[in-house]
């Protein structure tokens, strides 16, 4: 296999809509870093290795499997499995992933980048697997006020469609990152708050640079270090500009007072644990039976019917690949 220039990995993770892409784009603005599109495919390929469907010692087969994965097609970047010459003494899946990102960095005219910045939200949910695959990798857990996350996710054509599901979804996904922080400690997993990133970008990026053992570069204050693929352009409208402080409190206008109250009731003290002041506290009333049924109806009709149609329409260019149908059944289609 051709030599790799990528020799370090940073896995950013957290609940979706918490700023993983914004943070990736800011760190990716550093001259030593390359921020790739989300790499959901890597866990599917790793599972294929573990169940014996493909050998880790066969780089060409690993590349072929990756190439046909519909999630990799979103990268809008091609790889050639025949280039996987086994001139390395110990072929591994980690080597293959580093090689893919090396080629991507060269495609993006970043030949000097040696740190892979991967901003796939689910990364913290697979922290143990990723750190076993890349023993020297580091992780960042980005956390955002769950009410802001709910306001951001509810209008989209994937993810929760009701405030009830959004509350439970945010709590569950944030818990993965908190667990990784506890297990691996601050030297391996750094916590970053979205609000600090937006309101105090320089101080936050300097702290991140120290964590990564990088020199701080002023360019990191701009989120120009990531080129979103066409598949995700609409949901990454903030990428490419300096963080906007107004985004922090925008949820206050987007959510109704009752939605905020239900969210606070269902997340209980979780918001408080993370430093987010409550509006209602113990006075927050639980969702009524009617509100629970309305939430279920929203998940059924908007989530399972309306949004699935929108997702299929958005994914239309991928339909031309027969691999899409196989892989779409095996992976989560909510991103």
Res 335: pLDDT: 42
**Residue matched to tokens 């049924």:** 293
pLDDT tens-place string over residues 68-87:
888 898 898 888 887 765 55
pLDDT tens-place string over residues 306-335:
666 666 666 656 555 545 444 444 444 344
Q: Where are the alpha helices (DSSP H) in the chain?
A: 20-27, 41-50, 59-67, 70-73, 93-107, 127-133, 146-153, 163-184, 194-199, 201-212, 251-254, 257-267, 270-273, 289-297, 307-314, 323-330
CA distance 18 to 88: 39
Residue 156's nearest CA partner among 79, 234, 50 is 234
Q: Could you write out the DSSP letters of every residue in 204-232?
A: HHHHHHHHHT----GGGGS--S----GGG
**Cβ count near 68 (within 10 Å):** 17
pLDDT tens-place string over residues 281-314:
889 999 999 999 999 998 887 767 766 666 666 6
Q: What is the pTM of this model?
A: 0.88
Res 81: pLDDT: 80
Q: What domains can you pick out in the chain, each with its CATH number? A: 8-330 (3.40.50.300)
Q: Which two tokens stand for residue 259?
A: 């939605």
Q: Which two tokens stand for residue 233?
A: 């352009």
Calculate what percentage of the chain has a pLDDT beyond 90. Answer: 65
């Amino acid at each position: 296999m051709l030599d790799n220039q990528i020799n370090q990995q940073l896995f950013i993770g957290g609940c979706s809509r918490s700023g993983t892409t914004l943070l990736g784009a800011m760190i990716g603005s550093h001259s030593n870093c390359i921020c790739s599109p989300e790499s959901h495919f890597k866990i599917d390929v790793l599972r294929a290795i573990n169940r014996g469907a493909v050998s880790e010692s066969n780089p060409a087969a690993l590349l072929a499997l990756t190439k046909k994965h519909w999630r990799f097609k979103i990268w809008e970047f091609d790889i050639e499995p025949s280039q996987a010459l086994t001139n390395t003494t110990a072929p591994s899946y980690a080597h293959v992933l580093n090689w893919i990102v090396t080629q991507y960095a060269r495609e993006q005219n970043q030949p000097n980048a040696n740190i892979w910045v991967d901003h796939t939200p689910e990364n913290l949910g697979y922290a143990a697997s990723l750190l076993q695959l890349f023993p020297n990798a580091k992780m960042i857990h980005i956390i955002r006020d769950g009410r802001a996350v709910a306001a951001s996710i509810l209008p989209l054509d994937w993810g929760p469609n009701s405030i009830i599901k959004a509350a439970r979804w945010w709590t569950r996904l944030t818990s993965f990152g908190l667990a990784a922080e506890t297990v691996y400690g601050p030297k391996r997993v750094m916590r970053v708050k979205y609000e600090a990133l937006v309101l105090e970008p320089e101080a936050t990026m300097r702290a991140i640079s120290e964590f990564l053992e990088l020199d701080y570069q002023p360019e990191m204050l701009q989120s120009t270090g990531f080129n979103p693929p066409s598949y995700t352009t609409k949901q990454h409208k903030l990428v490419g500009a300096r963080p906007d402080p107004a985004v922090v409190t925008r949820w206050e206008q987007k959510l109704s007072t009752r939605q905020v109250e239900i969210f606070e009731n269902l997340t209980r003290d979780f918001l408080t644990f993370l430093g987010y002041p409550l509006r209602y506290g113990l006075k927050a009333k639980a969702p009524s039976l009617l509100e629970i049924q309305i939430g279920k109806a929203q998940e059924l009709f908007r989530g399972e019917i309306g949004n699935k149609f929108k997702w299929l329409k958005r994914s239309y260019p991928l339909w031309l690949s027969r691999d899409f149908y196989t892989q779409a059944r095996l992976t989560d289609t909510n991103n």
